[in-house]
Every structure is written in C-alpha cells, then in structure tokens.
Amino acid sequence: MNARRRQQDGAAVVLGLGMFAVLVFVAAVTVGAVAIVLGHRQAQAAADLASLAGAGALQRGADPCAAAQVIAGRQHAVVTACVVEGESVLVTTAVRLPSALGSHELPARARAGPADQLEPVGAGP
C-alpha cells in the first residue's frame, strides 16, 4: 500500500498545473476578445463623431474631411476615407490593435448630414 501511495504523490501537482494552464489560456483568449470588441467600439465612436464634425463643417462652409480628421485623431483613430455626397459626409475610420494581437486595423463607417438625404450605411438594394 505504501508503494502505491508513493506513485500517486505527484498526481495532484500535475493536475493542478494542468488546470492552471487551462485557466491562463482562457484568460488570454478572453482578454484578446475584449480588446478586439473595445477597439471596434472605439473605431465606431470615432467614425460617428468624425462624420458629425464633417457634416457640421460642411454646413458652415469649411472643409469637412479636415474636421473629421481632427476629431478622429482625438479619439486615437485615423480617417481612412472621407467622401462628401451632396450635404452628407461618409467617414471611414480605423483603430490599430495592440501588437500582441497582430496590429490589425479595425475599420468602422458612419454617415452624417440632413436626415432627408441619408441612407443607412451598408444599405443594399
């Protein structure tokens, strides 16, 4: 009986280390997923604010894309496209993920202008 007990003495340590490794893996995946979601929300907020700033500047006769770039920059995003269509402004922004997650860019689009001239972004036929 004593010999059998000696064979199982390290089993709890191995099991504990395995469970700890699984816990660390799940935590890392969760942190990565949260970072991606937050990055996309940041890009979308920047696109929304930049398009509103651009539409406001267009109404005042100023450069809408310059206004959009200033506001997007304050949100730690970059404007990747700015299109003026009549009295509305379509802005595409991007936020870069941390290098630990691959440094990919997360894009977002928003349109602002008079309500009677707007179509939802991404609306198809």
- Count of H helices and E strands in the chain? 3, 3
- Flag whether pLDDT at 123 surpasses 60: no
The pLDDT-based confidence of 58 (bands split at 50, 70, 90) is very high
Tens digit of each residue's pLDDT (9 = 90 or more) over 82-111? 999 888 999 999 999 877 777 788 999 999
46 closest CA partner among 97, 82, 93: 93
pLDDT at 48: 94
Q: What percent of the chain stands above pLDDT 90?
A: 55
The pLDDT-based confidence of 66 (bands split at 50, 70, 90) is very high
Which residues fall within 8 angstroms of residue 40, CB to CB, at 6 or more apart? Answer: 95, 106, 108
Q: Find the range with the poorest average confidence among 4-18, 53-67, 99-113.
A: 4-18
**CA 50 – CA 12 distance, rounded (Å):** 56
- Give the CA radius of gyration of the chain: 25
**CA 39 – CA 108 distance, rounded (Å):** 10
